[in-house]
Amino acid sequence: MRFQPAPARIPDGRRVYAVGDIHGCADKLDALHAMIAADLKARPIALPLLLHIGDYVDKGPDSAGVLERLTRCASPIPGLACVNLMGNHERTMIDALAGERAAVTDWLYTGGREALASWGADPDEPAGWVARIPTRHQDFVRGLKRTHRLGGYLFVHAGIRPGVPLDQQSEDDLLRIRGDFLSSERAHGFVVVHGHTPARHGAEVYGNRINIDTGAVFGRRLSCAVLEERRVGFLEA
């Protein structure tokens, strides 16, 4: 793994492994977790953190397998603390399971059919969805955090509304924003590490943000930003 200068700093003795959008790619997640575990074994540090940026479900072949890996123990990598953030696809899943008609339609249109099939649920029978999805998977998506702060970084699924204080950001922006955030060159007071918008040529590092969604579900790599001190490297599976 090669490191490059990063736009913000992680406190001494800490390291963050931030994983991009997974979208049901359980095999790639397994491979990436193995790479993270190997890196941590080779380069131990006092306070490492594993963070997943959201969008665990939909589009890919094994949403159920991804959630099973993330719910069967406190962390998918033993001894490594883990933070899991919510993506817009988890928000849609929650609302669809609650019976919101617009969310049901949206979920089916944006990859929910593949997710439901991975649980053995009939996409055309919404009344049976809740019974087919394990309770621990449902509890996991409902309990996901929206943001995480560490050092000079904010971790969030999609981004933020430029110029709006963090405590006044809407959930919709945190989970879904694109244009106004991606085009902004302003300093936010922290560097935003995000996913949501697939980068075509690998992870992107800018002065005010780092994009770690590299389109794993579209046949490209699943990426992990490795942030330590004032540098960043990337693992890919």
In a domain, 35, yes or no: yes
Cite the beta strand spans of the chain per DSSP E.
Answer: 3-5, 14-19, 47-52, 81-84, 147-150, 153-156, 191-194, 204-205, 209-211, 223-228, 231-236
- Residue 218 has a pLDDT of 96
Could you give the number of structural domains in the chain?
1
**Is 0.95 surpassed by the pTM of this model?**
yes
- Residue 236 has a pLDDT of 98
What parts of the chain have a pLDDT lower than 50? none
Q: Can you give the residue range of the structural domain that contains 185?
A: 3-84+145-236
- Residue 127 has a pLDDT of 94
In a domain, 170, yes or no: yes
Q: What is the CATH number of the domain that holds 167?
A: 3.60.21.10
List, in sequence order, every residue forming a beta bridge with 149; answer none if it has no partner.
Answer: 154
In a domain, 98, yes or no: no
In a domain, 206, yes or no: yes
Is residue 174 a contact partner of residue 55, using CB atoms and an 8 Å limit? no
- Residue 73 has a pLDDT of 84
pLDDT in tens, 29-76: 999 999 999 999 999 999 999 999 999 999 999 999 999 999 988 899
pLDDT in tens, 85-97: 999 999 999 999 9
In a domain, 46, yes or no: yes
43, 221, 141, 93 alpha-carbon torsion, rounded to 10°: 180
In a domain, 207, yes or no: yes
In a domain, 78, yes or no: yes
In a domain, 119, yes or no: no
